[in-house]
């Protein structure tokens, strides 16, 4: 728990270096300074599934549709749309006045190019394009999608909040190969970002897009009117948790996207800090590398899953009991498709069976490399605990500490662990992202085309196709449960239970935060 003495000292302590940095950027503008959940180093929101990059994308890009706070998909860049009775033909018209940051109008050709690039990286996008017969422009502001078979989840795909999000970029940018990062930061969203304002390891400065025309509806989650009340938003990177809290207390930052739970009791008692419940709970999961030993062997993989102790791992990571919950479903507990049918997986350690399977697998004692993001407080305890659990089974474990940006880059490598690859890492998903089998990014069995770890499971992919083809809720629930059982049996993901994070703001200074899968900066006011 927090060191209360050091926190009390923070009320009077000065942070000269921080003060100097902030005074250098002081102006008459309304500037909100926030500490992001992790450092931002990758700016292409299609190239990576990192949440920090997705959140950056929400600042400078816009989407055709957006999910409101109740989970409904609503038009965003689209003014109107139609769908044929059989869901095979969809037409869309963009709302007037959409412009990119360089002043160029947003056209249907930009949309078509952006969707094509996104679909090469996104599992649901791949499904959509496999079912698609054609996508064509109908004038500068309209386009039509035609499908070979009914595809009833077009809006779910175009409005998905989980990364990669189908952000709309200029056609010339979207023509960048999907396996290469873009080098232009041009969107049409409510904020702009100049390359000079991107300072990795220090700060990212977003400026209000004065030309942005928000929708007329009230804001709701990622939908509605994105009205910007700030001239500038600065993401300030502060790695040390106590430094984050001190900076908030002293007014040198206005907000922490994720309040460190190790300082929870003292923050809750402080008259200067308000804790805000913005983002829903979400699950932690283990992602295994199916490409290399030992987890390319089903018995070794199952042994690793049987070592999981959800309660111990959650307690170590989240620390405050009110903010975590064991849950064996791969979907968010309490959501529409959550199920207690989880086969062999119980979320409790089954060491004897695990040791038996590991021996049968022929495991040769080669180190299992688990990546630990030391700079992400929400994830930096679980990997070490899991490493200890795996050792009890008989694995030789090498927990390697890195920063999140390096982990994001390294997890894309298919090299052997000793050559810079990896065997496992732990990540966290927004509750909305993990509530539906077609928007759950990691729920793939498409090998090299799928999520990191690259499991190959044609049966899983066939079940997802069945889910997409039906609109009957009862049938969808049955298919979702079968997807869950298949994903657990194949070790596609291993659920570790759920956690919740609160944001922290300066009391009476920051208001207007919207409930959403990500922290949003439109509608926010600084008093």
Q: 């630990």: which residue's tokens?
A: 372
Tens-place pLDDT, residues 87-134: 899 999 999 999 999 999 999 999 999 999 999 999 899 999 999 999
**Percentage of the chain exceeding pLDDT 70:** 95
pLDDT at 177: 95
Asked if 325 contacts 310 with a C-beta cutoff of 8 angstroms, the reply is no
Asked if 514 contacts 220 with a C-beta cutoff of 8 angstroms, the reply is yes
Asked if 143 contacts 136 with a C-beta cutoff of 8 angstroms, the reply is yes
pLDDT at 23: 37
| pLDDT at residue 9 is higher than 80 | no
Q: 């957006």: which residue's tokens?
A: 66
CA distance 39 to 203: 9
104 DSSP assignment: P
CATH 3.40.190.10 describes domain 4-36+190-278+503-526: yes
| pLDDT at residue 19 is higher than 70 | no
Asked if 166 contacts 160 with a C-beta cutoff of 8 angstroms, the reply is yes
Q: 């959403």: which residue's tokens?
A: 516
Collect all residues with Cβ–Cβ distance below 8 Å to 507 and sequence separation of at least 6: 271, 272, 273, 274
CA distance 378 to 385: 14
Least confident of 19-33, 207-221, 298-312, 324-338: 19-33
| pLDDT at residue 435 is higher than 80 | yes
Tens-place pLDDT, residues 157-216: 999 998 999 999 999 999 999 989 999 999 999 999 999 999 988 999 999 999 999 999
Asked if 285 contacts 493 with a C-beta cutoff of 8 angstroms, the reply is yes
| pLDDT at residue 10 is higher than 60 | no
Which strands form 142-147's sheet, in the order they lie side by side?
Answer: 78-83, 89-94, 142-147, 132-137
Q: Residue 16: which pLDDT band, with cuts at 50, 70 and 90?
A: very low
Burial of residue 5 (number of CB atoms within 10 Å: 0-12, 13-18, 19+): exposed
pLDDT at 431: 81
pLDDT at 448: 93
Question: Higher model confidence: residue 388 or residue 152?
Answer: 388
What's the average model confidence in pLDDT over 489-498?
Answer: 97
| pLDDT at residue 4 is higher than 60 | no
pLDDT at 218: 96
Tens-place pLDDT, residues 70-88: 889 999 999 999 999 888 9
Collect all residues with Cβ–Cβ distance below 8 Å to 108 and sequence separation of at least 6: 94, 137, 138, 139, 140, 141, 142, 143
Omega prior to 164 cis, within 30 of 0: yes
Q: Residue 6: which pLDDT band, with cuts at 50, 70 and 90?
A: very low
CA distance 133 to 149: 9
The total number of residues written for the chain in this structure? 527
| pLDDT at residue 275 is higher than 80 | yes
| pLDDT at residue 3 is higher than 50 | no
CA distance 258 to 303: 33
Domain 282-499: give its CATH architecture: Roll (3.10)
Q: Residue 28: which pLDDT band, with cuts at 50, 70 and 90?
A: low
Q: Which of 264, 257, 313 lies closest to 284 in space, CA to CA?
A: 313
- CATH code for 65-174? 3.90.76.10
pLDDT at 376: 86
pLDDT at 377: 84
Collect all residues with Cβ–Cβ distance below 8 Å to 322 and sequence separation of at least 6: none
Q: 């290469």: which residue's tokens?
A: 180
CA distance 352 to 196: 56
Question: Higher model confidence: residue 256 or residue 261?
Answer: 256
pLDDT at 378: 86
The rounded mean pLDDT for the chain is 92
> CA-CA-CA-CA torsion for 490, 370, 280, 504, nearest 10 degrees?
180
**Residues pairing with 370 in the sheet:** 399, 424
CA distance 512 to 502: 15
Tens-place pLDDT, residues 143-157: 999 999 888 899 999
Domain ranges of the chain: 4-36+190-278+503-526, 65-174, 282-499
Asked if 200 contacts 39 with a C-beta cutoff of 8 angstroms, the reply is yes
CA angle (70, 74, 77) in 5-degree steps: 140
**Which pair of tokens denotes residue 265?**
């009791």
pLDDT at 433: 81
Omega prior to 73 cis, within 30 of 0: no
Q: Which of 471, 507, 502, 465 lies closest to 486 in space, CA to CA?
A: 465
CA distance 145 to 108: 12
* Cα 306 from chain centroid (whole Å): 26
**What is the enclosing helix (H) or strand (E) of 316?**
helix 310-318
Asked if 225 contacts 512 with a C-beta cutoff of 8 angstroms, the reply is no
| pLDDT at residue 17 is higher than 70 | no
Structural Rg of the chain based on CA atoms = 23
**Percentage of the chain exceeding pLDDT 90:** 79
* Cα 283 from chain centroid (whole Å): 11
What's the average model confidence in pLDDT over 333-358?
Answer: 96
């Amino acid at each position: 728990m927090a060191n209360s003495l050091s926190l009390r000292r923070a009320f009077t302590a000065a942070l000269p270096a921080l003060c100097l940095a902030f005074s250098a950027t002081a102006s008459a503008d309304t500037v909100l300074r926030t500490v992001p959940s992790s450092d931002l180093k990758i700016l292409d929101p299609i190239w990576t599934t990192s949440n920090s990059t997705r959140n950056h994308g929400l600042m400078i890009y816009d989407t055709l549709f957006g999910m409101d706070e109740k989970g409904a998909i609503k038009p965003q860049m689209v003014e109107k749309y139609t769908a044929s009775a059989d869901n095979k033909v969809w037409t869309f018209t963009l709302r007037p006045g959409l412009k990119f940051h360089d002043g160029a109008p947003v056209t249907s050709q930009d949309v078509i190019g952006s969707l094509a690039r996104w679909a090469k990286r996104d599992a649901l996008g791949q499904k959509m394009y496999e079912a698609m017969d054609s996508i064509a422009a109908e004038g500068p502001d309209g386009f039509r999608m035609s499908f070979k078979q009914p595809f009833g989840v077009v809006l779910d795909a175009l409005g998905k909040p989980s990364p990669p999000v189908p952000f709309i970029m200029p056609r010339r940018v979207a023509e960048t190969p999907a396996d290469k990062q873009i080098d232009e930061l041009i969107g049409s969203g409510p904020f702009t970002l100049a390359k000079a304002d991107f300072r990795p390891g220090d700060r990212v400065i977003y400026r209000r897009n004065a030309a942005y025309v928000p929708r007329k509806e009230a804001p709701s989650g990622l939908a509605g009117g994105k009205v910007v009340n700030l001239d500038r938003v600065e993401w300030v990177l502060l790695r040390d948790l106590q430094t984050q809290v001190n900076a908030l207390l002293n007014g040198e930052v206005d907000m922490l996207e994720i309040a460190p739970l190790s300082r929870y009791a003292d923050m809750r008692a402080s008259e200067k800090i308000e804790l805000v419940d913005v983002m829903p709970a979400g699950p932690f999961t283990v992602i295994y590398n199916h490409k290399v030993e030992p987890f390319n062997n089903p018995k070794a993989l199952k042994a690793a899953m049987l070592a999981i102790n959800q309660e111990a791992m959650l307690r170590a990571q989240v620390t405050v009991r009110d903010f975590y919950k064991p849950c064996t479903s791969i979907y968010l507990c309490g959501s529409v498709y959550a199920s207690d049918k989880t086969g062999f997986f119980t979320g409790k350690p089954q060491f004897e069976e695990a040791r038996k399977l590991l021996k049968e697998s022929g495991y040769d004692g080669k180190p299992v490399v688990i990546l630990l993001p030391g700079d992400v407080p929400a994830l930096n305890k679980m990997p070490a605990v899991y490493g200890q659990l795996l050792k009890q089974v008989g694995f030789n474990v090498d927990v390697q500490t890195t920063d999140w940006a390096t982990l994001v880059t390294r997890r894309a490598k298919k090299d052997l662990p000793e050559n810079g690859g990896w065997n496992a890492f732990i990540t966290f998903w927004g509750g909305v992202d993990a509530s539906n089998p077609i928007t759950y990014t990691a729920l793939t069995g498409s090998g090299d085309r799928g999520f990191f770890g690259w499991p190959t499971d044609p049966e899983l992919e066939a079940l997802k196709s069945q889910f997409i083809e039906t609109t009957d809720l009862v049938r969808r629930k049955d298919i979702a449960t079968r997807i869950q059982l298949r994903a657990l049996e194949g070790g596609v993901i291993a659920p570790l239970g759920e956690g919740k994070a609160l944001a922290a703001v300066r009391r009476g200074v920051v208001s207007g935060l919207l409930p959403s899968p990500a922290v949003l900066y439109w509608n926010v006011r600084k008093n």
